[in-house]
Amino acid sequence: MAPYLLGLRLDGRRVLVVGGGRVAQRRIPALLDAGASVTLISPSVTPALDDLIAAGRVTWERRPYQVGDCDGAWLVHVCTDHREVNTAVAAEAEAKRIWCVRADDKDASAAWTPAHGRVDEIGVAVTAGGDPRRAAGIRDAIVGALRDGTVDARRHRTRPVGVALVGGGPGDPGLITVRGRQLLAQADVVVADRLAPRALLDELSPDVELIDAAKVPYGRSLSQEKINELLVEHARMGKFVVRLKGGDPFVFGRGGEEMIACARAGIPVTVVPGITSAVAVPGAAGVPVTHRGVSQEFHVVSVHVAPGDPRSTVDWPGLARSAGTLILLMAVERIKEIAEALLRDGRSPETPVMVVQDGTLPTQRAVTATLSTVAERVTAAGVRPPAIVIVGEVVKVGQEIEMVRAERVP
């Protein structure tokens, strides 16, 4: 007969475990996580169990099993290496109407321990006819799908509230964090940036309202004030709002402004950091932003206004004097002015530069140059945003890596 699956709430209830070997080592932590009061009976225990005992989390009676040990238990796990002991414990538990799990004999066991996993408040338990490896494989597949949001796990009784500022990463949809994807799967409303991983939006349920908050350079743009209003407005309607951004919300993502707007309106905010393109895109192009003996610092700069513009707060002379790596965002349209400023303030004309367009995406491409030639090369190659500009000797490290790779290809 198929087992009847039931979730036991063991908080404060006595659970007896007989046997202190590897099976007990696997099962006792899960029992403790469920709040059980665990009594362990065994002449010896594994080092991992010894740690739990020393921490006062498990009551250990250092002796063999005796008749009467099952008294007062709500659940019994017997997992010794001696079949006769396991049989005796199971018989006592059966006589006293206590559920008993036998690790050595699934057919003689009154209950089975499923392969279990947890993602937030969702518990997964799988039995597979007593085949633990098969059950574990199925469990892993389900847990993985819950973690990456490919299974619709939206809450209905207790829904999340407020706004989640989610960093979507540098572009490749596989680079969003697990937490970010989970919250995206729970959303009632998604307010998405132009640089957010758009492929993830196709996976949203049809009833999710999608608001395009794109800021196209020199084109159509939704003002930040309007975005703030939309977040507050929808959250006040009781909807769970995900603000999906490219990169990280707090790295030139105006996440701080949106968080302040929500805080002023009394809206709870969850922040999910994302992988910033400032590090991820150079990495995807094979360029480390730091490298031992080459660069022990890197500077991330937003060049939404050119050097010399009264609105700029960037210390361009200081960056020119620095030997560190420069990572320049929103810099393609102003690359000529940037190069001129760095050269004027002391950077060598031979400083290596790489410009990476569409980093981490299938359309990724890179242009290499020097500081004296980069403006001309970018114009000739027709490089367009989004692109990351890398300035510094680490570009040569990336080229060395590429040469080594090429030499090893048969």
Alpha-carbon dihedral 94, 127, 28, 90, rounded to 10 degrees: 20
Please give the residue that has the higher pLDDT: either 118 or 289: 289
Asked whether 274 and 180 are in contact (CB, 8 A), the reply is yes
Position 139 pLDDT exceeds 80: yes
377-386 pLDDT tens trace: 999 999 998 9
Average pLDDT of the segment spanning 9-15: 95
Nearest to 60 by CA among 39, 36, 81, 37: 39
pTM recorded for the entire structure: 0.66
Mean pLDDT of the chain: 90
Residue 129: pLDDT band with limits 50, 70, 90: confident
Fold assignment, 14-113: Rossmann fold (3.40.50)
Position 220 pLDDT exceeds 60: no
DSSP character for 247? B
Distances (CA, A) of 293 to 202, 290, 297, 323, 394: 45, 9, 11, 11, 10
Residues catalogued as catalytic: 193, 215
**How far, in Å, CA of 319 to CA of 337, rounded?**
14
Domain ranges of the chain: 14-113, 116-153, 162-272, 278-401
337-377 pLDDT tens trace: 999 999 999 999 999 999 999 999 989 999 999 999 999 99
Q: What is the CATH architecture of 162-272?
A: 3-Layer(aba) Sandwich (3.40)
Residue 212: pLDDT band with limits 50, 70, 90: confident
Residue 219: pLDDT band with limits 50, 70, 90: very low
**How far, in Å, CA of 40 to CA of 31, rounded?**
12
At 194 the pLDDT is 83
Position 294 pLDDT exceeds 70: yes
- Among 217-221, 224-228, 314-318, which is the least confidently predicted range? 217-221
**How far, in Å, CA of 123 to CA of 406, rounded?**
47
**C-alpha R_g of the chain:** 29
Which residue type occupies 207? D
At 141 the pLDDT is 87
Tell me if domain 162-272 and domain 278-401 are identical in fold: no
Strands (E), 79-229: 99-102, 115-119, 122-126, 163-167, 189-192, 209-212
Residue 156: pLDDT band with limits 50, 70, 90: low
Fold assignment, 278-401: 3.30.950
At 226 the pLDDT is 92
At 128 the pLDDT is 82
